[in-house]
Amino acid sequence: ASHVESDLVNVLFTEEQIQAKLAEMARKIEADYEGEDLLVVGVLKGAVMVMADLSRALNRHVEMDWMAVSSYGSGTKSSGVVRIMKDLDADISGRNVLIVDEIIDTGLTLSWLVTNLTSRRPKSVEIATLLRKPDALAMPVDVKYVGWDIPNEFVVGYGLDYQEKYRNLRDIGTLAPHVYS
């Protein structure tokens, strides 16, 4: 398509709604970590937009670090096996870690990450995600900050991709059928 936004058939959340929700989440995070150190960890690549906007919504000091993880196997995540493509730069022992992602689908990525990071003896590990798909949750994940629970539909935009495209949309929505054909 000539214009990327026109591939969205249905906008679920606008830029304004997303920013308002992140501001709400930021107020809770500020209150919960008051007087505490805070390291936010973004999960590449999907979390880049949430990391950029959530961290700027926080009226406090934060450190930012990044992980890139990848599921083994042929495109499907059902194996639950994850490998680290890029590890944290920071030593997180004794630190408050807040993992930031834009969506929890099956929960496999974040449940694995929580287990992995917990083994490094941080002071705390929590999760903030903009979206969660309760219907698709195959692994239980304890999520402290959730923007919205959404139906089990394929969504793109604001970091979420379809074949590596659409991450740069400002809104989140579902793709028109013609995109898939």
Q: How far apart are CA 151 and CA 13, in angstroms?
A: 13
Nearer to ligand PRP, 77 or 170 (CB): 77
Nearer to Mg ion, 2 or 149 (CB): 149
Torsion angles phi and psi, residue 150, rounded to 5:
-125, 155
105 binds, among ligand PRP, Mg ion, none (CB under 5 to 8 A by kind): ligand PRP
Single out the segment in contact with ligand PRP by CB under 6 A; choices: 20-28, 37-45, 52-60, 145-153.
37-45
Angle at the Cα of 16 (from 11 to 20), degrees rounded to 5?
Answer: 120
105 a catalytic residue: yes
Q: How far apart are CA 97 and CA 100, in angstroms?
A: 9
**Considering the rule CB under 6 A, would residue 80 count as an interface residue with ligand PRP?**
no
108 binds, among Mg ion, ligand PRP, none (CB under 5 to 8 A by kind): ligand PRP
Single out the segment in contact with ligand PRP by CB under 6 A; choices: 31-39, 58-66, 89-97, 98-106.
98-106
Q: Would the CA dihedral through 3, 52, 125, 58 be positive or negative?
A: negative
Nearer to ligand PRP, 29 or 110 (CB): 110
CA 167 to chain centre: 12
Torsion angles phi and psi, residue 30, rounded to 5:
-55, -45
Position closest to ligand PRP via CB: 46
Residues 17-46 that bind Mg ion (CB under 5 A): 43, 46
Question: What tokens were used for 5?
Answer: 């936004």
175 touches 154 (CB < 8 A): yes
Q: Which residues would be at the binding site for ligand PRP (CB under 6 A)? A: 43-46, 77, 101-109, 161
The site for Mg ion (CB under 5 A) is made up of 43, 46
